Amino acid sequence: MKMIKLKLFGDRRISIIQVPLSTSADGEDLHYQVAIVQPSGKNSLAQIPKGVNPRDMAPSSSLFKDIVKSYLEGNMFLVYNGGMTATIDTGSFTTLTESDGDYILFSCDNTDNGHYDGQHSEGAVHYAIEENDKGVDNPPFLLILIDDGLFLDRESRRLAATRTNNRSNQKTNSEMDIRNLFDGIKDEITYCPVKNVEWKQHQRNSKGEVLKADCKATQLINMLGAFLPLALVHGGELENICTWPKKGEASLHNILNDSLSIPLNAAYKHVDFVLEMADFVRSSSGEVLGTKLDRFGITKMSTASQRKKVIAERKPLKTQLFTGEFVEHGFNKDVLPIIVYALVNSVFEFDDNTQSYNTEYAIEEVKAMWLEGGYAVLKVIENSFENCFEDKYKSRWADFVLDTIMWRRAAKEFSKAVARTTDWKEHLTHTLVK
């Protein structure tokens, strides 16, 4: 039996937890052990073999490099890192006290024993110690050791390995929400319940319903980004904001961007405008497009099976509004920033002195403008959809909206409608301004 020896980080009475989870057929306790160890060049984590770990290690990855950096920074590594999990020979776990401290000993001789989670952590820590072994000052490391008798067969180990490695990563929006980074936006929302925007993972809206991608914080930030070209700041040009949908949750980090944070924060004051208009343009598509509604592919589902059909026969796209309601013949979430940009570009201005966005129009007036000019805006997007969506952009919406010419043409068409004051004022009905 080859015994693996690792030094504990402190007294064994406070560095080990040993929990009996079951009993073998022979009456032997089967344990789940947690140990806080202090790896070193002499007593390395590399002693533990690879078990049924479903992944290989990637030493060149940013993850590996981040772990190395974190370990070299000190004892807080234990807080930031999940350590390593391994199966060991049942009954082999024991302790030993020597002059320089307490140790744990165990073996991994049986088939498939060894680590199945945390090999990047093990590899990175081993690399860091090779680079700079501080001996008794090396940071602690979390080690979970499970008696192999708890597993019936190899498949049950693989199941444990798969489930451990499939643990959900913390979502960016959840991390930012817990840091209160969305509070500036939340404080300005009166149009709908604040919880109707998904600020954190698995959040439900005011009706207790699951929030769809249409209502995520990422989507709201992407639409608020439509204000930035007015501010004329580096990183806020149209060529930049059109890429935000493709970046997914990474676009949320624009809140913290040095050059964008001030003009983006200034847009928070108008979050109600964005939310309400996003709902209005989707719920009014039937009125805006009239008898041509069924011929607009951007209001239909775009799955592979639906694209095999002519546009008129495709199912209407169902989208979730920020009010919590669902409407048919809405638009893909990635298209909405184009529409918001078209509106904002024509009815808002940016004041360099006050660092604020201002408009002379009430939202009811902007709605009237949309009823007048919305068809022309949507026609620009529809033309591009029919000509390029499948062949050029391979049916990927986030790629489709990278076309800045489409954004500019849409904005140009809406500006024409804004100039037709007499015409759009015809839409200022009692129903619209209630």
SS3 string, 369-418, reads HHHHHHHHHHHHHHHHHHHHCCCCCCCCHHHHCCCHHHHHHHHHHHHHHH
Domain boundary among 122, 146, 165: 165
Q: Are 108 and 86 in contact, with CB atoms under 8 Å apart?
A: yes
Residue that has been written with the tokens 């769809």 in this structure: 212
Number of domains in the chain: 2
Same domain? For 26 and 84 the reply is yes
Which element (helix H / strand E) includes 330? Answer: none
Same domain? For 156 and 180 the reply is no
Q: Are 347 and 361 in contact, with CB atoms under 8 Å apart?
A: yes
User: Two tokens at 146?
Assistant: 């499970």
Burial of residue 29 (number of CB atoms within 10 Å: 0-12, 13-18, 19+): middle
Give the predicted TM-score (pTM) of the model.
Answer: 0.69
Burial of residue 382 (number of CB atoms within 10 Å: 0-12, 13-18, 19+): buried
**Amino acid found at 19:** V
The residue segments making up the domain with residue 132 are 3-165
Domain boundary among 165, 183, 198: 165
238 phi and psi angles, rounded to 5 deg: -55, -40
Same domain? For 257 and 114 the reply is no
Same domain? For 208 and 326 the reply is yes
Same domain? For 160 and 103 the reply is yes
Same domain? For 237 and 256 the reply is yes
Q: Tell me the pLDDT of the chain (434 aa) as tens digits.
A: 899 999 999 999 999 999 999 998 888 999 999 999 999 999 999 999 988 765 666 778 888 888 999 999 988 999 999 999 999 999 999 999 999 999 999 999 999 999 988 888 999 999 999 999 998 999 999 999 999 999 988 788 877 877 776 655 667 888 888 888 999 999 999 999 999 999 988 899 999 999 999 999 999 999 999 999 999 999 999 999 999 999 999 999 999 998 999 999 999 999 999 999 999 999 999 999 999 999 999 999 999 999 999 999 999 999 999 999 999 999 999 999 999 999 999 999 999 999 999 999 999 999 999 999 999 999 999 999 999 999 999 999 999 999 999 999 999 999 999 999 999 999 997 455 44
Interhelix angle 336-347/271-283, rounded to 10 degrees, is 120
| Residue 15 CB partners (closer than 8 Å, separation 6+) | 8, 9, 35, 36, 37, 102
| Residue 309 CB partners (closer than 8 Å, separation 6+) | none
Same domain? For 157 and 179 the reply is no
Same domain? For 99 and 192 the reply is no
Same domain? For 157 and 214 the reply is no
Domain boundary among 165, 185, 216: 165
